[in-house]
Amino acid sequence: MTKSSGITNKTRVILALIIILAGALGAALSLGWKSLSANEASGQGSSTSSEETREPEPWRSGELLTDPDQVPDDEAYDPYRTTEPPADGSRTDPPEEDNTAYIKEQEKNWGPVVDEFAELVTYEEGRDQEEWMSKVKPLVTTGLYKRMETIDVDNLQDGTYSGDYKISPESISSLVALVKYDDGDPLRVYVTLDAVDDKWKVYSYDTVAPSETGD
């Protein structure tokens, strides 16, 4: 009888220990979940607060960009771009009449380039190839110069430059000049402000049928 009572008491002690351990484990898990929920709530609040206090980005202000340093590294600087594009999706380039006025103002810089180039691309008896290329080089972009290296000066078109041209501005940094010759087909000369050395240069040209000039 005593032996049976001893086994019962041991069983009771074991059951009591199991209950105590289960309670402690449940309490620990409950505290863990509460702590995690509190951290998540704190993180959401911090993110909201950060967004509310973030400094406005100057390139998204909608104002005309006047400082390249305001533009993020992964975006190209465009002085005529606003950060809020027009409703119709068009660019905010200056009006065409402003382009024309500026190009006309710059004629003292690009005009001599057009004149000299127009004379160089016509045939002249006894012209030296290397000397011709040395005169062409400062007037044209690198890309056009490489293409013109294959030209034989003896195969240039005939013509006497009249000193007359008409221009069509394409932007504040590019134009097309329709060059006329007293004899020979007109020439369409494409000129741009070269970003490499900030000089006006010819980047392409082609002949034009007289019927296309409108004269």
One domain, residues 82 and 162:
no
Instruction: Identify residue 16 by its one-letter amino acid code.
Output: A
Q: pLDDT at position 85, please?
A: 41
Which residue range(s) make up the domain with 49? 1-53
According to the model, what pLDDT value does residue 103 have? 93
Number of structural domains in the chain: 3
Split the chain (215 residues) into runs of 10 and give each run's mean pLDDT: 56 80 72 59 48 43 42 43 43 60 93 97 94 97 95 92 93 94 92 93 90 65
Assess whether 39 and 62 both reside in one domain.
no
Mark whether 113 and 193 lie in a shared domain. Answer: yes
Domain boundary among 41, 68, 93: 93
pLDDT on residue 36: 55
Q: What is the pLDDT of residue 14?
A: 83
End-to-end CA distance of the chain: 134
What residues have CB less than 8 Å from 17, skipping those under 6 apart? Answer: none
> Which pLDDT belongs to residue 15?
79
Are residues 60 and 125 both part of a single domain?
Answer: no
Whether residue 3 is found in the same domain as residue 40: yes
Contact partners, residue 136, CB within 8 Å, separation at least 6: 117, 120, 145, 148
In contact, 192 and 173? CB cutoff 8 Å: yes
If asked whether residues 105 and 164 sit together in one domain, one would say: yes
Write down the pLDDT at residue 167: 94
78 and 126 belong to one structural domain: no
Going across the sheet that includes 187-194, the strands are 161-171, 174-181, 187-194, 199-207
159 and 138, same structural domain?
A: yes
pLDDT value at position 31? 66
The verdict on 144 and 85 lying in the same domain is: no
Domain of 138, CATH number, reads: 3.10.450
Do 186 and 143 lie in one domain? The reply is yes
Q: Is 162 helix (H, G, I), strand (E, B) or coil?
A: strand
pLDDT for the residue 204: 96
The answer to whether the beta carbons of residues 188 and 195 sit under 8 Å apart is no
Can you give the pLDDT at residue 8?
Answer: 72
138 plus 198 within the same structural domain: yes
pLDDT at 25: 75
User: Exposed, middle or buried, 161 (CB in 10 Å: 0-12/13-18/19+)?
Assistant: buried
